[in-house]
Structure formats: structure tokens, C-alpha cells
A and B are shown apart, each in its own frame.
Chain A
Amino acid sequence: MNSVSDTQPSVGDHGEETTRRDFIHLMAIGATGAAVLAVGVPAIHQLNPDASVRALATKEVDISAIDIGQAIKVMWQGKPVFIRRRTEEEINAAGETPISALKDSKSRNENLTGSEEATDTNRVVKPEWMIVVGVCTHLGCVPLGTDEGDSRGEYNGWFCPCHGSHYDIAGRIRKGPAPENLIIPPYEFVSDTVVKIG
């Protein structure tokens, strides 16, 4: 079917006028595209954390009741944070682990840049206190090892039962599918007994 071409000359069929005409149509199409994109920004950005979520970034924890060798779980930004008070032996053992034995050699410490060597010193603020985000870096399960009687895995740290990742006493991945060491959240000691996370 030759539609309307017998009565209507098709658009842009006029020699030198063609460029100018095409230009304006392209402008119109471009302006439409830009408008749709501009509307897309708020439509997507609304999914990001809102102002009330962003404001809840810090949490203060009283750690005076934790005995040596014990650990607790606290909630921070909707995630568990493990706070373990390590024994002398545990600190020594963690310090002696060679970097070459580690699966992930980066410190993953948000108080530092995160890409230093994952020595035990680079994983703590005070050696006695091991503070990590309790989310397995594999697929987000919460590793065991904090509560009394939990399995602590082959390296005496934490063990993720979902897919069998073993972390050592410094929260470093030693065996299993997880790719990275447990994240160290930003934190500071407000006093000897209070730590502020975030």
C-alpha cells in the first residue's frame, strides 16, 4: 500500500531544506529523550536510603560487661556487629598468621583505607577488641561463633553454616567460598567501656 505518498510529499524531501528539517526533528526526539531521562533520576534515586535512614548511622555500645573470651552481637544499620574480647593466646595466634596463608590479603578495615595488608594490627583499634560486621562476605548469612557453644570453624573464629566459610579469630577468611575478610565497621572508643560504631 502506498499510503498517503500520492497526496502528501514525505517529510524532508526538499533538497537543501532537508538538513534543517531533520535537525529540528532530531532536536524534538532528543529533547523527549532528555526529559524521560531527567524524570528517571528521581524515579530511581527514591530507592536510595532516605534521610531518616542516613541519620541513624551511629550506635554506642557499652562493652564493660564482656569478659575475656566472650563475644556479643549488636545491631548496627540493620546488620549484626560482633564484638569479641579476645584472650592473650588468641591475639598472639592471630598476629603470627603469615599474610601468605590468607585468602584475602586486604585489611577490609573501614577505619583505614581498607586495602592495607590484613595483619592482625590492621584489623583492630585495640588488640583486645575484635569488632566486625557479622555478615558473611559470600552471600550475606550471619556466621556462627559469637554465642557460647556455637561452632567456631576450623580456625577458631567464625563459621558460616550456609556455605561453609571459615573465618579466623581476626575475622579473616581462611577456607570456604567467601571471597573477602569480614568487614570492620568504622568505630571509635568513646571511653574504655563505650565504643561508638559508625
Chain B
Amino acid sequence: MSHESTYVPGSAIERWLDKRLPIIRLGYDSFGDFPTPKNLNYWYTFGGILSVCLVIQIVTGIILAMHYTPHVDYAFESVEHIMRDVNYGDIMRYAHANGASMFFIAVYLHMFRGLYYGSYKDPREMLWIIGVVIFILMMATAFMGYVLPWGQMSYWGATVITSLFSAIPLIGDSLKTLLWGGYSVDNPTLNRFYALHYLLPFLIAGAVILHIWALHIPGNANPTGVEVKSKKDTLPFHPYYTVKDGFAIVVFFILFAAFLFYMPNSLGHPDNYIPANPLVTPEHIVPEWYFLPFYAMLRAIDFNFLFISSKLGGVIVMFSSLIILFFLPWLDRSKVRSHRYRSTAAKLWFVLFVADCVFLGWLGGQVAEQPFILFSQLATAFYFIYLLVILPLLGLMETPKELPKSISEDVLSNTKKKAAISATPEPVAQPAE
């Protein structure tokens, strides 16, 4: 559905520029006239929301970088300086810290949406793969960013997560020393994390451009999973989706502002307001909430498996949970994309999978004791079983419902249904949808 350009340069300057650098044409074709399925619902607005999140993080991040000092003796102090003395510094820092959480809320919803509607299926595999790359880059960026305030959680989080690499056979310990630039997490570590934390967002921005490119080659997927058949199925991106995304972004900002202004510390951990102390480990180390599901998987492996130690096993399981996402387009054998037309069994398993991810997140925040370890093991097992066994088998076994012939037909039948309901002379109380 990569469409022919419809841009007509309006003025002499535009014509001049268009011959030399058709940048306005690119913008117009991508975000102006781009034909977009007309049945996209609000779950499809998270792409726009995520772009805004990235911009917010980069802008507030650069502002913070102007006042922050990446040195173990001054990092904590400089963050307090930002909070207390820099003009609007408290707002900037809270916006950056809570902005990261908002970013992850949006990215998780974006991913589950892709999962539910089968957006990753042929011909959009590259789109999904780049998305997973962005997600992993985001995790790396967020992790390094959390180290910078140099509080207790920063320090011990950095120690624990970098120690994961020591589980790798043979090279593990050397690799850990290489990452640290020393024999413990210290000033060299903080400095390089700062440099990388500044760099990675720009890599993310680059990957986002590829992501949008990969989206614009086949065009948007949509809730029916039926490809666009004719002009009747689409609307130009502007103004239809600029305004719809715009509305969603404003609503999202309300959520963001609620955290930023009224509970800015609710998603953080109090221990990070204690300066890093290499002699005292906090009683209960927890990563930020968005890492908790993966943290739970890491801790679930408390047994040796054949020649694999429990430590290495945990690391393998945790990283596999991310790597497996790359293969999702080929693991899902369903004949239709969208769960809307799949069997009830498929829907139920999907619901269980979402619940499992949330449950893993909750488990990641609990102490590493029974029964939580057992729960984590079961939930981790289900995570992999769903993706590796259930998803492929469902696709092979189920008979999907009949697909609508086109997007327009689907939209029309919905409208008729609605009209029929509202036209009933004596309206019967409708059960809430």
C-alpha cells in the first residue's frame, strides 16, 4: 500500500525545494495524505503517544544533563541541586523520571495491541522486529538512567544487573570487569552509563524512523486484520488520525500530569533518596516497575539444570523472554491476524497470557521466598509455553470465524447494527458492553 505521492508543491519556493530535497513531499506523503484504514480504534493511538514520550524524554533529559554531574561524589548532590535550586528543576526531573514510566505503560499497551490484532504477521514482520529492538533499547536506556542519581537503588540495581553478565561461562567475569571499568560499580561505571544514557535515545529515535518506514511500506494493519482493498477503506492520515491521536495524547497527558504533579515519587523507590553506599545493601532490592516481570523470571530459576547453573539459567531465561519476541511472527500460525476472528479458546489463552505478564510483574516485586518462587516458576513456564506451544498449536487447530470482505463492509455492518439498536421503537435495556 506504499502509495503514489499526491503532493503538489503550492508555491515557487516549494517547487524549488521539491526538486532538490523533497522533504515536504516526504512529510506530506507520510503524515499528511497517507492512506490509513478507517477502522483504527484507540488502541492504535499508542504509536503517536510513544513518539511524544520519546520527545519528552529527550528534551527533559538534555535539560537535566545541563545541570547534572556524572561523578560519584557529586551525582546525588547535583540531582538535589536540580530539585532544589534550578528553575523548574523539580518539574524537569519528575517529568523525566515519571516520563520513563509513562513511556513503558504506552509501550506495553502498544505491544499487547500488536499481539491481540496479530499486527506482526506477514507482511509486517520487520515492523515488529524493529519494534522489539526499540523495546530492548528502551530497557537499556531506562536501566542506565536509573543509575545516574546514584542513590542506593541506583547503585545496587547497577551491581545486580551488571553481575548478570558474570553468569556467562568463560568470559563472564572479564566481561563484568569490562562493563564496570573496575572491580566494583564505581565512578568509571557511572561515567560510561551517563555517556550511553545520552547516546541510546538517539539510537531509539533512529530505530523509530525505521519503524515508521517499515509501517509505511505495507501500510497500517487494522482491527479486522483484513488488508486495505480500495480507497473506500482508507482515510488520509491528516486530519483524521492527527486529531484522533492528538486527542489520545492529551488524555495520556492527563495521566502523566497526575503522576508528575501529585504523586511524583509513587513509582520510584524511597531508598533512592539515600545516597549510594557500597557497604550497605538495601533490604529489598527491586528494579523499577517496568522491569519486574523480567526480574521475576530471572529469580524464578533457583535450581541447576544439567550443566547449567541456576545463575546462568536465570540469565538465559530472562534474555530468552525478550529474544523469543523476535520470532513471534513465525510462532503464530493462525490463518487470520486479529483475535476478533479467532476462536474463544485463542482469546482465553491470550487473556491468560496478559494476566500472566501482570502476575509476573507483581511477583517481581515480592521477596524471594516461597511461595513466590514457585509462583514465579509457574508463571515463567506459562510465558514460554504460551509463546512456544500454545500459540503455534492454536493456529493450526482452530477454525477462525469468517472474515469481512473488506474494512468498509465491516464498518458498514457495525453501523447498521448500531442504527438498528437505536431505531428500536421500545428500546429494550441493552446490557452494557
Contact = CB atoms under 8 A, between A and B. Distances in A.
B33 A51 contact: no
Interface stretch (A39-47, A134-142, A161-169): A39-47
B81 A52 contact: yes
Nearest to B234: A4
Contacts of B63: 43, 46
B4 interface: yes
Contact of B246 (A8, A28, A42): A28
A1 to B, nearest CB: 5
Contacts of B6: 1, 3
- In the complex, which of the residues B85, B232, B235 has the most CB atoms of chain A within 10 Å of its own CB atom? B85
A191 interface: no
A25 B6 CA distance: 24
Contacts of A3: 6, 33, 35, 231, 236
A172 to B, nearest CB: 36
Chain A interface size, as a band, is 20 to 34
Contact of B86 (A28, A32, A46): A46
B89 A46 contact: yes
A42 B239 contact: no
A96 interface: no
A7 interface: yes
Contacts of A48: 87
B388 to A, nearest CB: 43
Contacts, number: 53
A45 B236 contact: no
B391 interface: no
Chain B interface size, as a band, is 20 to 34
Contacts of B385: none
Contacts of A51: 84-87
B183 interface: no
A132 to B, nearest CB: 30
Interface in A1-16: 1, 3-4, 6-8, 11
Contacts of A17: none
A4 B6 CA distance: 12
Given A28-B246, A52-B81, A8 B235 contact: yes
Contacts of B3: 1
A51 B91 CA distance: 15
B91 A32 contact: no
B88 interface: yes
24 contacts: A3-B33, A3-B236, A4-B35, A4-B235, A6-B231, A7-B232, A28-B246, A32-B246, A42-B87, A42-B91, A43-B59, A43-B63, A45-B88, A46-B63, A46-B86, A46-B87, A46-B88, A46-B89, A50-B67, A50-B81, A50-B86, A50-B87, A51-B84, A51-B85
